[in-house]
Chains A and B, each alone.
Chain A
Amino acid sequence: DAGVTQSPTHLIKTRGQHVTLRCSPISGHKSVSWYQQVLGQGPQFIFQYYEKEERGRGNFPDRFSARQFPNYSSELNVNALLLGDSALYLCASSFHGQGGGDTQYFGPGTRLTVL
């Protein structure tokens, strides 16, 4: 079975540009979460979507937005890129997105470099 897939693998942008990252969850999973992982740190929660609705948001500015499609895939959009947005962006899928045993499975991530 295919795991969580993300595209693109790597991306280089310049400050002020916009970027769209894509994620396809494991078949049957209805929840997608996005995380930002800066080099040398643990992943930081950005968003969670379940059944196309935003369920939660982490401490990130409004430049970050996301959406989930009817097939449960998701996009993460970042506007007006800053150098500090350079990071590995991880997508995780789970059945229903609630803790207490709903295991999140991560994709390989998209490495974003902002110059």
Chain B
Amino acid sequence: GESVGLHLPTLSVQEGDNSIINCAYSNSASDYFIWYKQESGKGPQFIIDIRSNMDKRQGQRVTVLLNKTVKHLSLQIAATQPGDSAVYFCAENTGGFKTIFGAGTRLFVKA
């Protein structure tokens, strides 16, 4: 069946360091991937997305990498700040209506 999972449930980084959050997916038909950030008491917030015809996409302080060969997705956050502390979800979509979320990784940023 379909699944999107994360390698690490928690990640702790020092303020100013770079963070890398990893995600594995199992549905080779997925062609659209999204990273969301969820702070306590709030709904998921869109960070960045990538289509399957790309292997890298950059935003403001964030980069998403897609490796279709090994079905792996990663989110890189540059110069991590205390405000980046949250749970991060990767999600996949096969071009239809259903978006499948992973379990999430909690990022702690130490000052």
CB proximity to A under 8 Å, residues B56-83: none
Given contacts A42-B102, A42-B103, A56-B98, contact A101 B51 (CB under 8 A): yes
Are the CB atoms of B43 and A42 closer together than 8 Å?
A: no
Whole-angstrom distance between the alpha carbons of A108 and B49 in the complex? Answer: 21
Are the CB atoms of B46 and A99 closer together than 8 Å?
A: no
Which one, A48, A55, A100, A108, contacts B95 given CB within 8 A?
A100
CB proximity to B under 8 Å, residues A62-115: 90, 92, 97-101, 103-109
Which one, A40, A42, A50, A58, contacts B89 given CB within 8 A?
A42
> Distance in Å from the Cβ of B107 to the closest Cβ of chain A?
15
A interface, over-half SS: loop
Q: How many A-B residue pairs have CB under 8 A?
A: 70
What residues on B are CB-neighbors of A40 within 8 Å?
103-104
Are the CB atoms of B51 and A56 closer together than 8 Å?
A: no
**Chain A 41-52: CB-based contact to B (< 8 A → 1; otherwise 0):** 111110010100
Whole-angstrom distance between the alpha carbons of A92 and B34 in the complex? Answer: 14
User: Which chain B residue lies CB-closest to A107?
Assistant: B43
Whole-angstrom distance between the alpha carbons of A42 and B102 in the complex? Answer: 6
Are the CB atoms of A106 and B99 closer together than 8 Å?
A: no
Whole-angstrom distance between the alpha carbons of A50 and B100 in the complex? Answer: 18
Q: How many residues of B contact A (CB 8 A)?
A: 27
What residues on B are CB-neighbors of A106 within 8 Å?
36, 43-45
CB proximity to A under 8 Å, residues B1-52: 4, 31-32, 34, 36, 41-46, 49, 51
Are the CB atoms of B44 and A90 closer together than 8 Å?
A: yes
Are the CB atoms of A108 and B103 closer together than 8 Å?
A: no
Are the CB atoms of A99 and B101 closer together than 8 Å?
A: no
> Distance in Å from the Cβ of B49 to the closest Cβ of chain A?
7
Which one, B4, B32, B43, B97, contacts A90 given CB within 8 A?
B43
What residues on B are CB-neighbors of A109 within 8 Å?
42-43
Are the CB atoms of A99 and B99 closer together than 8 Å?
A: yes
Which residues of A come within 8 Å of B, CB atoms? 4, 33, 35, 40-45, 48, 50, 55-56, 58, 90, 92, 97-101, 103-109
